[in-house]
Structure formats: C-alpha cells, structure tokens
Amino acid sequence: MKKVHVTTTVNGDPVEFLADPRETLLDCLRNHLDLTGTKEGCGTGDCGACSVTLDGTLVCSCLVLGVEAEGKKVETIEGMASEGELHPLQRQFIEHAALQCGFCTPGILVAAKSLLEQNPDPSESEIRFWLAGNLCRCTGYDKIVRAVQDAAAEMRGAA
C-alpha cells in the first residue's frame, strides 16, 4: 500500500506524517503523532470519544481519513489547555466531578468548547442536543451539563 505524505496543522503546530490512505484521522493522531488524548470508542461515529475540530467544524476523527487532513487545521484535546493553564471547561469538569472513568471526557470537552464558541449562553436543552453524539456510560450526564453551564457562565464573565 502506497503511503501518502500529509502536511497539516494540529493545535497550531505544522506537522507531517505518512499515512496509509485507509487510516482514519484518529489513527493518524494517535499512532503517527502520538496524540493519544483523542480516544477511540466505537470507531463508527456513534460515541463521540474521538471528537476533534477540522477547520473549526466538530467531527468524529474516526469518520475522517488522515489524508483528508492535508492542508487543514485540526484541533484536539491536547490544544485545549494553554501555557499549563486549564481551560474553564476542564476546570469545571474537575470541580463538578463531571467524569468517572474519563474515557469520553476529551471528546466531550472538545465538543463543548465548539458549542461555546458559537453559542456562549446555551440552554440546558441546547447543551444536551449538541452533546447527544457524545456518549458517557458513567455519569448520567447531569454533572457534565452543569459543568458546561458553569464554564459558559465563567467565560461570559457572569460567574
């Protein structure tokens, strides 16, 4: 299988890797770039554990080929904290104990960040619908929703 040379930007850093064209972006992030924060849950776009943004759009990285990332901008969980400072969503997830096993957490944080970028004051219902593609088998979601609400309030300067 002929490998394809892919040049892309991940969390602001220019990167390149050699991809088998059948490999997903998820596989490329984890296996070629050692960015293992993005998790594989189902591998079929149902669980959201592999959520990343591709040119600003929230996607499941298991449903994107690595070769499709050529020339694009990818943002993953590794780019969320800046200069060792946790993002407000990350802090509120800890504050609310909005995780147990933590496997779904990177995907949910990336998805929630994408929500707050376009809707800084989402209702509970909007949060639940937005995150409907992010499955958590531990928490029952209530703590997650409250953490997102509090992070949103903090980011709006309302907290």
Partner 1 sequence: MRYHTPTSFQEAARLAAASGGLLRYLAGGTDVLVQMRAGMVQPDELIDLKHIPGVFDISRNADGGWRIGVAVPGRVLGAHEALCGDWPGVVEGMNLVGSTQVQGRATLTGNLCNGSPAADSVPGLVAAGATVTITGPDGSREVPVEAIPTGPGRTVLKKGELISAITLPPRGAHGGDAYLRFIPRTEMDIAVVGAAVNVTLDGDRIAKARVALGAVAPTVLLVEAAAKAIVGSTLDEAALDRLAAASSAAAKPISDKRGTVEFRVDVVGVLARRAAKIAYDRAKGMSK
> Which residues contact partner 1 by CB under 8 A?
1-2, 4, 21-22, 24, 43-45, 48, 51, 54, 57-60, 62-65, 67-68, 111, 114-115, 129-134
Handedness of CA 157, 123, 79, 139 (dihedral sign): positive
Report, in Å, the least distance between residue 60 CB and partner 1: 5
Closest-CA residue to 119 (of 135, 109, 130):
130
Minimum gap (Å) between residue 64 Cβ and partner 1: 7
Q: Which lies closer to partner 1 via its Cβ, residue 42 or residue 101?
A: 42
Q: Return the CA Rg of the chain.
A: 16
In sequence order, what are the residues at sequence separation of 6 or more whose Cβ sits closer than 8 angstroms to the Cβ of residue 157? none
Q: Supply 105's token pair.
A: 């957490």
Q: At its nearest, how many Å lie between partner 1 and the CB of residue 158? A: 24
